[in-house]
Amino acid sequence: MIDPVIASRLQFAVTTIVHIIFPVMSMGLAPFLIYFTWKEIRTGAQVYEQLRTFWTKIFAISFVVGTVTGIVLEFEFGTNFAAFATAAGELFGGPLALEGMMAFMLEATFLGIFVFGRDRVSDRHYMLSSVLVGLGTWLSAVWILVANSWMQTPRGYEVATESGQPIISLVDPIAAYANPRFPWMYVHMQNAAVLSVALFLTGVAAYFVWTNRDTEFWRTTMKVGLAVLLVTAPFQAIHGDAYGRHVADTQPQKFAAMEAQYETDSGVGLKLVAIPTSLSDITDPHADDLFVIEIPFVASLLASGNDPGATITGLSDIDAESPPVAIVFWAFRAMVGLGTWFILLAFWGGYRWYQGTLFDDDLLAKAFMGSSVLGIFTVELGWIVTEVGRQPWVIQGVMKTHAGVSSSLSGSEALATLVGFVGVYTALLALYWYVVVRLIRTEAPTRSPTPKRETNVPEEVVPSDD
């Protein structure tokens, strides 16, 4: 049977990968819904009422499915990672409880008003409900990322032993909850969510423009999405650059894995392209075994912030087990490559908008359509870098992942639940996608496409000389 440690990690990975889609949609949609509500109240324009009504449905569906899939994750701490829950429950349980009691209840309560109360409350109270729904959504991310960031850079704790088991006690809540990683993770995650939804909105709108079924609804959607994309795509790269330096300072083994830096060296170049020369190189990405195009000294510059000759500590010189380098290395490259594409796409769309040809460029429309879900995919890659790059630690420098797995869990039990979770979560994701696509096709305002010229019209009879 499969090792229960591996099965538990795979199960948690699968449930997290599926679950994160729904918070990304709800967190990313929240600012758009606040804007649409404000414009509707301020201008009285029907298009903003339509935008607010339609995208609220997508938000509500994402909230419901996200709630279902997220609760299961918390149960997995007890079923699959009981040793971790026992050791870190005092510190880890607080943020999760606050997320439920504070953020979730705030969001759930005012979502009822926001969805059903447009004709029952005043404009001021309705506007307030939209803001509080968005605030609740973003507060949920605060407490989840407080817990996760503490696992990356633990602070404010001490380790004791009770009945032969390590117990982590919270001694400084401010140091623990305001740990060094939290602001970096929170800003990066929230901007990524808004960026992902901006791509989704522009991609869906581009489809209706390209198929000649565009209306003011979809043209406005595309403009608003593009405007947000022009801000969030470059900012994500700028912030990610600074975030990378923080990772290099606090988790050198993760940074070394991101760059596949096995030996300590100075003036390290940034690998822009790294192509395996053989199949085995994919799982063992040494620089010497790859066809590499790199910018000299840039990796050292990124790690230090100002010194192109800075030294990067290699994995072989770090007194710890290395994370799975290939997974971190390739996920990071794909994430950065897609982020670069989003910037180019935003500037391309912005240029066409400036020219007044935003809705006339078929190639741009196809590019937006093809990129509509790539933002969410990039978020997944970012989390793979974050979580896999921390291995073998579940709490960096404190507890290793294998030590956090439930001691009573057998391989057969872990395998059975893994298979079950994969099936259920795949079905939930398929159902969610079906409902969203159906809503877009049936309830979004569109006009019928312009009829094409008939091809079976009889030729005109030319009069004879007679």
Q: pLDDT digits over 107-147, tens only?
A: 889 999 999 999 899 999 999 999 999 999 999 999 999 99
Instruction: Give the pLDDT of residue 411.
Output: 86
Beta bridge partners, 400, equal 393
For residues 271 and 260, the answer to whether their CB atoms sit within 8 Å is: yes
Cβ count near 168 (within 10 Å)? 23
The whole-angstrom separation of Cα 358 and Cα 349 is 7
Of 45-49, 269-273, 453-457, the range with the lowest mean pLDDT is 453-457
Query: What mean pLDDT is predicted for residues 440-456?
Result: 63
Instruction: Give the pLDDT of residue 448.
Output: 57
Residue with tokens 């801000």: 231
Query: What mean pLDDT is predicted for residues 19-36?
Result: 96
Confidence (pTM): 0.90
Cβ count near 330 (within 10 Å)? 19
Of 58-62, 79-83, 100-104, 359-363, the range with the lowest mean pLDDT is 100-104
As a whole-number percent, the residues of the chain with pLDDT over 90 amount to: 60
For residues 259 and 265, the answer to whether their CB atoms sit within 8 Å is: no
Instruction: Give the pLDDT of residue 234.
Output: 96
Query: What mean pLDDT is predicted for residues 57-72?
Result: 92
463 band by pLDDT with thresholds 50, 70 and 90: very low
The secondary structure of residue 277, as a DSSP letter, is S
Of 127-141, 152-166, 191-205, 223-237, the range with the lowest mean pLDDT is 152-166
Given a cut of 90, whether residue 382 has pLDDT beyond it is yes
Instruction: Give the pLDDT of residue 95.
Output: 87
Query: What mean pLDDT is predicted for residues 85-113?
Result: 88
Instruction: Give the pLDDT of residue 461.
Output: 42
395 band by pLDDT with thresholds 50, 70 and 90: very high
Instruction: Tell me the pLDDT tens digit for each residue of 206-220.
Output: 999 998 877 899 999
Lookup: tokens for 17? 């990968």
Instruction: Give the pLDDT of residue 458.
Output: 45
Q: How many CA atoms lie within 13 A of 40 on its CB side?
A: 21
Instruction: Give the pLDDT of residue 390.
Output: 92
Q: Which has the higher per-residue pLDDT, 261 or 340?
A: 340
Given a cut of 80, whether residue 452 has pLDDT beyond it is no
Instruction: Give the pLDDT of residue 1.
Output: 66
Instruction: Tell me the pLDDT tens digit for each residue of 224-279.
Output: 999 999 999 999 999 998 998 899 889 989 988 888 888 888 888 877 777 777 77
